[in-house]
Amino acid sequence: MIPLTLYTTLGCHLCSQLEGLLGHLCGEPVALARVEISEDDALMERYEVRIPVLADDQGEELDRGFEAPRLAAWLAERGWLNEAAWEALQCQLEGEETPREVQGAEMRRGRRYLGCG
């Protein structure tokens, strides 16, 4: 289980987005400790405009983890990235319906056309 800390505040939609991505992209189960920054003046000063901020057990922080490429890179650096899930998500983000390994495919107006050989 991967212990992570999420610095957040009530109603933060970007924090919810980060949590969803984390659950999708992480290759192992996560133990997520949520820290409410609004209850601590020092945390408010440190994180107010940076949330959501994700931190590992070494204290290494990730700002803007709701951006999938940033989160994927951060997870990969630690060996926690589910590569297949990341590949599938990249295809979705790029409007592709199938993985990129398909050879001879061409995208035109958001549709995939396969070559005739």
Q: How confident is the model at residue 74 (pLDDT cuts 50, 70, 90)?
A: very high
Chain segment 105-114, per-residue pLDDT in tens: 555 665 555 4
Is the confidence at residue 53, as pLDDT, over 60? yes
Tokens, residue 58: 């070494």
For the domain covering 2-81, report its CATH number.
Answer: 3.40.30.10
What's the Cα-to-Cα distance from 90 to each of 18, 21, 61, 104, 112, rounded to whole Å? 16, 12, 23, 19, 15
The reported pLDDT for the residue numbered 21 is: 93
Helices (H) and strands (E) in the chain, counts: 4, 6
Chain segment 87-107, per-residue pLDDT in tens: 999 888 887 554 444 445 555
Question: What is d(CA 8, CA 15) in angstroms, rounded to the nearest whole number?
Answer: 6
